[in-house]
């Protein structure tokens, strides 16, 4: 909720507010008056019309030069805002241009000597895409990037992507520009209310110092469980304000509490007393949480489950201790962001926010009390005893107590147990892999190409690379779960959160932003229906030279809906021959390779011969490893 300190401004007029194009707006309104009305009251028409000035027209058409060569503002407030983002380690700010945040945008480009390089301004072609990029980046790195939105219309364009990020519990900072002196339809007294029900926290500061503090608090709130999107509405006048002697406050990182020492000691005693302990693990906040879980598993010799094939920040799938272990009769199970029949440590979910954030009483499904669990950040059914506390922050205390209490004899037994688990898990892995390979052979030589063959042919090309599968995989049958090794916190970024379309391409672009400077490549198995919602991220990937391979899952339909309509027609006894109406992408077919080339991306296809797939994938991987994105259009089986 907005605090009093950062409460929305409600006055209709502000002293010092700019009146740019005020005359143009009035003139447009006057021109809308009918000729009959003009004839009846010509003086009123004349009075209502004020011709825009030369400077206003020039600025609106992008031709206005600076008023003089000397700096009219020596230390603009927006420079300090950028410094705050730098201090917090925010690498990127994605945005589609908007006049309400032009002060911040100019500072991102020019602040400092030499001019600023971080945060880097990422050019998006749609606000929804910019937030999807922040979602993909946040999932891959476990920390926020920022997206800027232009007023009321920017929030509304971006609202679907914000909603998805909220369901996923993805940390991000949304900066909304507010310009009350420009186009009135683009502004409001409380713009954050448009997305308050599906964001974690928002503020609308009234002064420059409050603005700097609000940006810092937005970061802390975003990364503190329950993690999620936060919003800061920043007035244009604060961006332009002469900062004078305002000082950027030192950034205080978020303090995320774990269990107390007594609870850690009790857990440690339970783990050491067990003959066959197990860790049930879910998604941690950051890669550091994954590393801590691995350390604990190795210390106590526990087998571990993983969520790495469902989303990011999971226990490494091919770690020797990951699997059922040598004995499935576990006598003590510790849940770390996962359910346990004994004890679970689980941070609160975003569903816990709805009591205070859903002020409109919308009651979003999946976030209501007792709703089924959906998405990484949604409420989860409970069993056993659950402590509503962050597991990642709690593990170090447990490790400390286990290390202090462990005897030499216990260490010897633990080493023997680890060896038994490793052998059993390897055998289970190889058995499951053999079964999966046999299953994936079905339809191997079919045309259009089977989705299993796409994943199977990709794996040997990327298995020795640092890779991230950033696209949702449910619509392509998730073959990577059985065929690939998910050993990094970012190996698979999971689904859309709220199950909405238009997410994949933007999220993969955001993951590729994270990958670019880290020697990583991003794989995007891109569904065709999703692609068409917001294809502009193709241009962003090219413009910013992102290492992203897009393989089109082009089944020329919204195939799930196609199946639903066919089923509905069938049960009504009407036949299925007209189920294609409104559900297929035909007449004409879409050529995604040409679309990508139109945005400047190297591409090939469409490919319908499965024997041509491997060579095309190799060309794509080689191009992406060279620092350029690539798209391969593949005509595919439905799933």
pLDDT band (50, 70, 90) for residue 17: very low
pLDDT, position 66: 57
Sheet bearing 332-336, strands edge to edge: 303-304, 277-281, 332-336, 343-346, 385-388
> What one-character DSSP code corresponds to residue 585?
-
Residue 32 belongs to a domain:
no
CA distance 105 to 76: 12
Of 63 and 361, the one with more pLDDT: 361
Let me know how many helices (H) and strands (E) the chain has, helices first.
23, 16
**571 and 595 co-located in one domain:** yes
pLDDT value at 173 more than 70: yes
**408 and 294 co-located in one domain:** yes
**466 and 319 co-located in one domain:** no
Q: What is the mean pLDDT of residues 425-435?
A: 96
**306 and 449 co-located in one domain:** no
Residue 287 belongs to a domain:
yes
End-to-end CA distance of the chain: 43
| Cis, bond preceding 119 (omega within 30 deg of 0) | yes
Closest by alpha carbon to 227, among 296, 289, 281, 158?
289
Q: Which two tokens stand for residue 193?
A: 């209310």
| Cis, bond preceding 114 (omega within 30 deg of 0) | yes
Q: Among all chains, which residue has been given the structure tokens 């800027």?
A: 148
pLDDT, position 367: 86
pLDDT value at 75 more than 50: yes
Mean pLDDT of the chain: 89
Alpha-carbon torsion (305, 310, 314, 315), positive or negative: positive
- Select from 412, 432, 452 the last residue of a domain: 432
Q: Structural domain tally of the chain?
A: 3
**137 and 267 co-located in one domain:** no
CA distance 352 to 349: 6
**175 and 292 co-located in one domain:** no
pLDDT value at 25 more than 80: no
Q: What is the mean pLDDT of residues 235-241?
A: 96
Q: Indicate the range of 87-101, 385-399, 576-590 predicted with least confidence.
A: 576-590
pLDDT, position 36: 43
- Residue-range definition of the domain harbouring residue 445: 441-635
pLDDT, position 138: 98
**288 and 416 co-located in one domain:** yes
CA distance 547 to 624: 5
Residue 549 belongs to a domain:
yes
Give percent of the chain above pLDDT 70.
Answer: 87
**452 and 545 co-located in one domain:** yes
**424 and 463 co-located in one domain:** no
Span 442-484, pLDDT tens digits:
999 999 999 999 999 999 999 999 999 999 999 999 999 999 9
pLDDT band (50, 70, 90) for residue 82: very high
pLDDT, position 490: 98
pLDDT, position 175: 98
Q: Domain with 607 in it: what CATH number?
A: 3.40.50.970
**231 and 272 co-located in one domain:** no
Q: Which two tokens stand for residue 262?
A: 């007594």
pLDDT band (50, 70, 90) for residue 566: confident
Q: Among all chains, which residue has been given the structure tokens 């991230």?
A: 468
pLDDT value at 60 more than 60: no
Q: Domain with 266 in it: what CATH number?
A: 3.40.50.1220
Q: What is the mean pLDDT of residues 268-278?
A: 98
pLDDT, position 580: 87
Span 185-201, pLDDT tens digits:
999 999 999 999 999 99
Residue 53 belongs to a domain:
no
- Tally Cβ neighbours within 10 Å of residue 29: 11
**282 and 306 co-located in one domain:** yes
Query: Residue 269: in which H helix or E strand, if any?
Result: helix 261-273
pLDDT, position 379: 47
CA distance 137 to 170: 9
Span 330-375, pLDDT tens digits:
999 999 999 999 999 999 989 889 888 998 889 999 887 666 554 5
Query: Residue 148: in which H helix or E strand, if any?
Result: strand 146-150
Q: Which two tokens stand for residue 429?
A: 């892995």
- Select from 373, 401, 432 the last residue of a domain: 432
- Select from 379, 407, 432 the last residue of a domain: 432
175 touches 101 (CB < 8 A): yes
**520 and 421 co-located in one domain:** no
How many alpha carbons fall within 13 Å on the CB side of residue 478? Answer: 13
Span 113-147, pLDDT tens digits:
999 999 999 999 999 999 999 999 999 999 999 99
pLDDT band (50, 70, 90) for residue 264: very high
Residue 51 belongs to a domain:
no
CA distance 470 to 490: 8
> What one-character DSSP code corresponds to residue 256?
-
Q: Which two tokens stand for residue 3?
A: 């605090």
Span 290-332, pLDDT tens digits:
999 999 999 999 999 999 999 999 999 999 999 999 999 999 9
Span 521-564, pLDDT tens digits:
999 999 999 999 999 999 999 999 999 999 999 998 877 888 88
Closest by alpha carbon to 534, among 499, 501, 495, 498?
501
Alpha-carbon torsion (114, 116, 120, 124), positive or negative: negative
- For residues 508, 511, 517, 520, the Cα torsion angle rounded to the nearest 10 degrees is -80
């Amino acid at each position: 909720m907005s605090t009093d300190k950062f409460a929305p401004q409600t006055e209709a007029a502000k002293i010092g507010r700019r009146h740019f194009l005020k005359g143009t707006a009035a003139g447009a309104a006057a021109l809308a008056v009918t000729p009959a009305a003009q004839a009846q009251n010509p003086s009123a028409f004349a009075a209502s019309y004020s011709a825009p000035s030369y400077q206003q027209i020039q600025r609106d058409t992008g031709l206005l030069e600076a008023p003089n060569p000397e700096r009219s503002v020596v230390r603009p407030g927006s420079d300090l805002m950028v410094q705050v983002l730098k201090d917090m380690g925010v690498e990127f700010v994605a945005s589609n241009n908007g006049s309400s945040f032009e002060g911040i945008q100019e500072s991102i480009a020019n602040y400092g000597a030499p001019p600023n390089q971080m945060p880097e301004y990422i050019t998006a072609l749609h606000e929804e895409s910019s937030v999807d990029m922040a979602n993909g980046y946040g999932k891959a790195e476990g920390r926020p990037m920022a997206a800027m939105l232009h007023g009321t219309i920017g929030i509304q364009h971006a609202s679907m992507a914000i909603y998805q990020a909220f369901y996923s519990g993805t940390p991000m900072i949304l900066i909304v520009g507010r310009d009350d002196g420009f186009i009135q339809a683009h502004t409001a007294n409380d713009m954050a209310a448009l997305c308050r029900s599906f964001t974690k926290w928002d503020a609308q500061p009234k002064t420059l110092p409050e603005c700097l503090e609000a940006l810092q608090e937005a970061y802390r709130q975003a990364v503190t469980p329950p993690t999620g999107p936060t919003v800061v509405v920043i007035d244009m006048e604060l961006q332009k304000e002469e900062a004078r002697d305002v000082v950027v406050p030192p950034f205080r990182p978020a303090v995320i509490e774990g269990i107390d020492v007594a609870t850690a000691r009790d857990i440690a005693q339970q783990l050491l007393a067990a003959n066959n302990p197990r860790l049930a693990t879910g998604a941690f906040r950051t890669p550091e949480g994954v590393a801590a879980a691995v350390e604990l598993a190795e210390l106590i010799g526990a087998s571990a489950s993983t969520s790495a094939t469902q989303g990011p920040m999971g226990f490494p799938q091919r770690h020797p201790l990951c699997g059922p272990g040598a004995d499935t009769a576990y006598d003590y199970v510790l849940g770390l962001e996962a359910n346990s029949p004994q004890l679970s440590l689980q941070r609160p979910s975003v569903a816990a926010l709805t009591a205070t954030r859903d002020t409109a009483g919308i009651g979003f499904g999946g976030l209501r009390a007792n709703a089924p669990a959906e998405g990484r950040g949604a409420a989860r059914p409970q069993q056993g005893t659950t402590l509503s506390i962050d597991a990642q922050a709690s593990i170090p205390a447990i490790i400390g107590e286990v290390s202090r209490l462990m005897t030499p004899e216990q260490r010897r037994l633990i080493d023997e147990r680890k060896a038994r688990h490793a052998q059993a898990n390897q055998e289970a892995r190889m058995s499951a892999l053999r079964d999966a390979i046999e299953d994936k052979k079905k339809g191997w030589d079919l045309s259009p190409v089977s989705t299993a063959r796409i994943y199977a042919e990709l794996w040997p090309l990327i298995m020795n690379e640092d890779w991230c599968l950033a696209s949702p995989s449910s619509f392509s049958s998730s073959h990577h779960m059985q065929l690939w090794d998910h050993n990094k916190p970012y190996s698979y970024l999971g689904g859309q959160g709220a199950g909405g379309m238009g997410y994949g391409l933007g999220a993969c672009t955001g993951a590729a932003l994270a990958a670019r400077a880290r020697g990583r490549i991003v794989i995007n198995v891109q569904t065709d229906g999703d692609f068409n919602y917001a294809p502009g991220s193709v241009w962003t990937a090219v413009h910013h030279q992102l290492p992203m391979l897009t393989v089109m899952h082009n089944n020329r339909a919204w195939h799930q809906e196609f199946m639903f309509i066919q089923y509905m027609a069938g049960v009504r006894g009407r036949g299925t021959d007209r189920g294609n109406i409104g559900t297929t992408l035909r007449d004409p077919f879409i050529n995604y390779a040409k679309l990508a080339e139109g945005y400047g991306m190297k591409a090939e296809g469409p490919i319908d011969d499965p024997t041509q797939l491997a060579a095309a994938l190799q060309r794509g991987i080689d191009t992406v490893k060279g620092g350029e994105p690539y798209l391969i259009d593949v005509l595919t089986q439905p799933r």
